[in-house]
Structure 1
Amino acid sequence: MNAVDMETTGTTDSSVGHGAGDGPSVLLLPLPGAQGHTNPMLQFSRRLAYHGLRPTLVVTRYVLSTTSHPVAPFRMAVISDGFDAGGMALCPDYAEYFPRLEAVGSETLRELLLSEARAGRPVRVLVYDPHLAWALRVARAAGVATAAFFSQPCAVDIVYGELWAGRLALPVTDGRALLAREALGVELGPEDMPPFAAVPELQPVLTKTSIGQFDGLEDADDVLLNSFRDIAPKEAEYMELTWRAKMIGPTMPSYFLDDNRLPSNKSYGFNLFSDGVSCMDWLDKHSMSSVVLVCYGTVSNYDATLLEELGSGLCNSGKPFLRVVRSNEAHKLSEELKEKCENNGLIVAWFHQLQVLHTRLSLLVVFLLWESHIGQTNPPSQSM
């Protein structure tokens, strides 16, 4: 099966400005299986379509087979990560997964670029997640322009960029050195550091991949960041001056930006996990600022003992809580804990972040949930 045998075509949303027209073709390649990296890029795709470009979101075969297609005015196409039957979950050893992803992903991406050209849709630009630095090399070899799309906060990008450049050394215990060089606008303590930089032995492969985002970045035609200057002006300036970055965020659904460009765009639209139980009615039954939200992201992999311990702590706190445990992690929770949690908590497989982040919440315990953070701000209208 070649790279485009499983492509699907979206339908045009009447609210989308000029729609996905006959403009230049743009491929967008997020980190496979990482919802927090995919949805910002999906929202960016919507804006490209609004301006008449022809975006195509590229996912792995496994991701496409397990998620509902996002309602979007553009196509989807597939590549392979080498684990079509189960994706990253089929290969929990990152030391095996990422090299396989690079080898098979490079070949199937190359096939996709050739196939698009043969179909009369030559790709003008590849927008890629920099965790997939190999995609830059594939695109350049095919004569396709590239744009790196960073979906994490500027401060996180700065830490990994400085490590790549050799201006910082592992482990990074705090941000004092970066503050002294005016790379950061505030001092970050040990608890604020990106975990793979602070404790590199925790996940050495992910540490290497995170730092490797800057591999070949000087060859990218553009560097895009899902942020905006008002939320981190010093950090944004440093990324602009050091890495030629452009702030194009926040890449949130248009409905929450009040810019009236895409009024029907009210959700991120790409869900790797079923919503299952609705939590909105449950939240509405609680008083203001009383609920604790606990979410670990789509890539994190905690063992059963830690998940059980965290759950017991929440149950014993006596506070109402909403806990997100992915469907592929639910088997790690004991039936005893699930029954205990029913007294003051609700466990769901996933939730719509922008709907859930409201006045009932008092505390967020999150991992790599940048889009939730910017969802709580009141960002200015962007020119994107």
Structure 2
Amino acid sequence: MSKPHILVIPYPAQGHVIPLMELSNELVKHGIKVTFVNTDFTHKRIMKALQEKCVVGNEIQLVSIPDGLQDGDDRNDLGKLTEALFEVMPKKLEMLIEEINKSLSNKITCIVADGNLGWALEVSKKMGIRTVAFWPASASLLILFFSLQKLIDDGTIDSDGTPAKDTTIQLSPMMPAMRTTEFTWACIGDMKTTKIMIEAVKKNNEALKVAEWVICNSTYNHEAAAFTFAPEILPIGPLQASNHIEYLAGNFWSEDSTCLNWLDQQPPHSVIYVAFGSFTIFDHKQLQELAHGLEHSNKPFLWVVRSDINNGKNEIFLKEFEERVSPNGKVVQWAPQKKVLGHPSIACFLSHCGWNSTMEGTTNGVPFLCWPYFADQFINETYICDIWKVGLRLDRNSGIITREDITYKIKQLLHDEEFQIRALKLKESAINSVKEGGSSNKNFKNFIDWIKACV
């Protein structure tokens, strides 16, 4: 009997590539071959970041196709990128599949596509290949997307996605409260981008109907009300709980592992870990406020500042700042985040609240200070602060988060042991979900059985 061969394709962003690569590593443990498809641009970034440290192995093949943009185009322009993906990549994906199926004895038996790439699901259906959607964010966000037409029909938002008024809604009791002005499509760019994203959500909603499975990196305990509301979404997370490979072939930046040695020298539960993902941008004034807030907390801190932020005035300031606070504080360009969050010296996580970071933090029992930037991060903040009660919000009402508020919230979080107690309880439930007999473990085993039956 031939081996199952899965084609995996993520949306070209760090927070999407990582969980799908983690899923791919889990699949190969069960005797499944994976072809992992990035865009050409993303593929080059990943290979540069790896610096030959990672051998993906024979069971995961990294390949790429064009994204439709030119070398100098801004891929942080989500509207422009989304339009290019929908226009160019479906045909390129078809051509790649045809080429693979001609050259290999074990043809592609299933496509696992990012739920934000509905066109990939449609390509799968068109080519007669079994189809799975992987959702890289919270189930609550996917339910919000599914609810788009209802929100338009009841007047909560206009047809172009604009909120009728600034209000807060709940899609069902016990699900996170969502502010209409913070809906994902409403806080990712200008009006043109919002319209493009609304149309993309509509198309993806239709495409997801062809998926035979919709799986996500979450747990029943993390989002009980969401999974009750939409039982067709099946949690298989946390994926990282069972992933012990040394280097993951999905990072866009090279990891600075020297921070682990620095963490070894810090007292237990003392370090503030500060990281804002791959998109968050700070102006110079806000970066200064954050730096001074960390310094005035009188706590050791590890701060991740990407190279695209650490330039110009920021670079000059940060160099002087790090010299002044060393060795109490350390600044790196990119960190091995899962190892950092699992280190015994970590006391809390000052985070943008991306879903991967949220799952990694909760799986390691780390309390949060929440600093969401855009997209789904505001929903995740609500989970952290209001539902799980494992973190605190920073005050954004003045338009800038002040050093005083940062220092105050750090002290408040670390002095209240209840945050740590609740965080450890959530960690235990997350780990139990992927153990033998756990809810995510059962879903994943059923998924693996289905994949093997597709051959």
TM normalised by structure 2 equals 0.67
> How far apart are residue 211 of structure 1 and its match?
4.2
Residue pair 1:294, 1:366 contacting (<8 A) in 2 also: yes
Stretch moving more, 63-72 or 194-203: 194-203
The sequence identity of aligned pairs, in percent, is 26
The corresponding residue for 2:139 is 154
State the distance in 2 between where 1:200 and 1:103 align: 24
Q: 1:276 to 1:220 in 2, by over 3 A?
A: same
* CA spacing shift, 1:150–1:164, aligned 2, 3 Å: farther
Query: Residue by residue, what CA displacement relative to the aligned partner does 1:200-254 show, whole Å, maximum 9, x if unpaired?
Result: 37565376388455342212222111112133222222221xxx21222221152
Residue equivalent to 1:360: 345
1:139 aligns with 124
Report the CA distance between 1:164 and its aligned residue.
4.9
- Aligned counterpart in structure 2 of residue 39 of structure 1, from 18, 33, 57: 18
Counterpart selection for 1:57 from 36, 48, 70? 36
Query: What's 2:187 paired with?
Result: 200
Residue of structure 1 equivalent to 2:251 = 271
CA deviation map 1:30-51 (0-9, x unaligned)? 111x222212211211222222
Superposed, which structure 2 residues align to 1:372-383 within 5 Å?
Answer: 372-376=360-364, 377-378=427-428, 379-380=431-432, 381=435, 382-383=441-442
Cα deviation, 1:261-283, whole Å, max 9, x if unaligned, reads xxx63554432111235111222
Letter in 2 for 1:131: N
**Displacement of 1:302 after TM fit?**
4.1
Deviation (angstroms), 1:98: 1.9
> Where in structure 2 are the equivalents of 1:1-384 lying within 5 Å?
22-32=2-12, 34-67=13-46, 68=50, 71-72=56-57, 73-83=59-69, 85=71, 90-120=74-104, 121-166=106-151, 169=157, 171=163, 176-178=169-171, 181-182=172-173, 185=174, 187-188=176-177, 195-197=182-184, 200=187, 202=189, 205=193, 208=198, 211-212=201-202, 213-240=204-231, 244-252=232-240, 254=242, 265=245, 268-276=248-256, 278-331=258-311, 333-342=314-323, 343=325, 344-357=328-341, 358-367=343-352, 368=354, 369-376=357-364, 377-378=427-428, 379-380=431-432, 381=435, 382-383=441-442, 384=444
Is the 8 Å Cα contact of residues 130 and 150 (structure 1) preserved in structure 2?
yes
> Quick check: 1:253–1:265 contact (8 Å CA) kept in 2?
no
Cα distance in 1, alignment partners of residues 217 and 185 from structure 2: 23
Secondary structure of 1:31's partner?
coil
More helix by percentage: 2
Match of 1:11 in 2: none
Distance in 1, Cα, partners of 2:43 & 2:60: 15
Indicate conservation of the 8 Å contact 2:170/2:177, yes or no. no
Gaps of 5+ in 1: 1-20, 256-263
2:250 is paired with a residue of what secondary structure?
coil
Classify 1:189/1:164 alpha carbon distance in 2 versus 1 (closer, same or farther; 3 Å): closer
Deviation string 1:113-157 (CA, Å, 9 cap, x unpaired) is: 111122134322211112222222222222222211011122333
Structure 2 CA distance for aligned equivalents of residues 254 and 285 of structure 1: 27
Measure the CA separation in 1 of the matches of 2:225 and 2:188: 30
Structure 1 residue 175: Cα displacement? 6.0
2:145–2:201 CA contact under 8 A, matched in 1: yes
Q: 1:123 to 1:236 in 2, by over 3 A?
A: same
Alpha-carbon distance in 2 for matches of 1:177, 1:131: 23
8 Å CA contact 1:29, 1:57 repeated in 2? yes
| 348-357 or 136-145: bigger deviation | 136-145
**Does the CA-based 8 Å contact 1:276-1:348 persist in structure 2?**
yes
- Distance in 2, Cα, partners of 1:203 & 1:290: 41
Any stretches of 5+ residues in structure 2 without a counterpart?
365-426, 436-440, 445-455
For 2:97 and 2:133, the matched residues in 1 are separated by 17
Give aligned pairs, total: 344
Q: Is the 8 A contact 1:154 1:236 kept in 2?
A: yes
Distance of 2:275 and 2:183 partners within structure 1: 18
Q: What is the Cα deviation at residue 163 of structure 1?
A: 2.9
* Contact kept? 2:175, 2:226, Cα under 8 Å: no
